[in-house]
């Protein structure tokens, strides 16, 4: 592979990476602002896991997808749910026991990495969503950062870089076209001078 081909591939890969970063960040920022803080795609909410209580299955800083719809009394032992605790904090833990009393359903929960069950059972009305099994390690750190004021500002950088790179590429292409036109004009002039 020649140096020119390598540069061409690096150029394409750089363009695709910058474009993908711009699109992902735009979707995350816009969806989180539109839904009041929680990024949502196709009915699934994206949540950031900030503790290691569910490791190794869900690592600290992971981005997970949860499904918020449905009957929150339907869960069984082994299901992983996201619920609101007394301090209005979201927690994602596994159900270890379902306790039903008439219409009332409560769940005992435990983090996979914790030694003991959570102190208080979770009322079904405090369940926010069911974990879908989809997780992307460490992307949650980036999403949290993107939702901050500084993060939203800094994430404009991929867009600016992409625009600058596109401008540079267009400028170079126009320069090449101009060079080819000049060469064509010179050959045409040479051809005319030879024929006369």
pLDDT on residue 27:
66
Q: What angle do CA 44, 31, 91 make, to 5 degrees?
A: 50
pLDDT on residue 94:
94
Q: How far is CA 69 from CA 38, 42, 73, 74, in A?
A: 15, 12, 12, 11
Asked if 122 and 112 touch (Cβ cutoff 8 Å), the reply is no
Q: Domain range for residue 18?
A: 3-157
**Which residue, 162, 178, 132, 172, is CA-closest to 15?**
162
- For residue 29, being part of any structural domain is answered with yes
The torsion angles phi and psi of 112, rounded to 5 degrees, stand at: -55, -30
pLDDT on residue 190:
67
**Which residue, 46, 9, 8, is CA-closest to 24?**
46
CATH number at 12 reads: 2.10.109.10
CA–CA gap between residue 179 and residue 185 (Å, rounded)? 10
The number of domains in the chain is: 1
pLDDT on residue 142:
72
Query: Scanning the structure block, which residue is given the tokens 């045409």?
Result: 188
For residue 10, the number of C-alpha atoms closer than 13 Å in the C-beta half-sphere is 7
pLDDT on residue 93:
94
pLDDT on residue 117:
92
Catalytic residues: 51
- For residue 179, being part of any structural domain is answered with no
Asked if 28 and 146 touch (Cβ cutoff 8 Å), the reply is yes
- Between β-strands 104-110 and 122-123, what pairing exists: parallel, antiparallel or unpaired? antiparallel
- For residue 181, being part of any structural domain is answered with no
CA–CA gap between residue 73 and residue 121 (Å, rounded)? 13
- For residue 105, being part of any structural domain is answered with yes
- For residue 127, being part of any structural domain is answered with yes
pTM above 0.75, yes or no: no
pLDDT on residue 83:
92
- For residue 50, being part of any structural domain is answered with yes
pLDDT on residue 116:
92
The low-confidence residues of the chain, meaning pLDDT below 50, are none
**Which residue, 165, 148, 173, is CA-closest to 17?**
165
pLDDT on residue 82:
92
């Amino acid at each position: 592979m020649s140096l020119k081909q390598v540069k061409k591939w690096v150029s394409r890969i750089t363009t695709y990476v910058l474009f993908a970063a711009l699109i992902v960040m735009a979707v995350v920022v816009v969806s989180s602002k539109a839904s009041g803080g929680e990024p949502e795609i196709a009915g699934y909410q994206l949540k950031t896991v900030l503790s290691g209580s569910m490791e190794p299955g869900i690592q600290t800083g992971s981005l997970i997808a949860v499904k918020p719809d449905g009957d929150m009394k339907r869960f069984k032992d082994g299901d992983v749910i996201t619920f609101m605790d007394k301090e209005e904090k979201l927690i994602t833990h596994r159900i270890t026991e379902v306790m039903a009393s008439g219409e009332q359903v409560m769940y005992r929960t435990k983090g996979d990495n914790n030694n003991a069950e959570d102190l208080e059972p979770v009322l079904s009305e405090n369940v926010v969503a069911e974990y879908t099994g989809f997780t992307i390690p460490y992307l949650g750190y980036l999403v949290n950062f993107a939702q901050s004021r500084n993060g939203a500002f800094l994430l404009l950088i991929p867009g600016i870089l992409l625009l600058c790179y596109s401008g540079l590429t267009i400028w170079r292409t126009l320069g090449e076209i101009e060079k080819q036109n000049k060469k064509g004009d010179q050959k045409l002039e040479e051809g005319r001078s030879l024929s006369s």
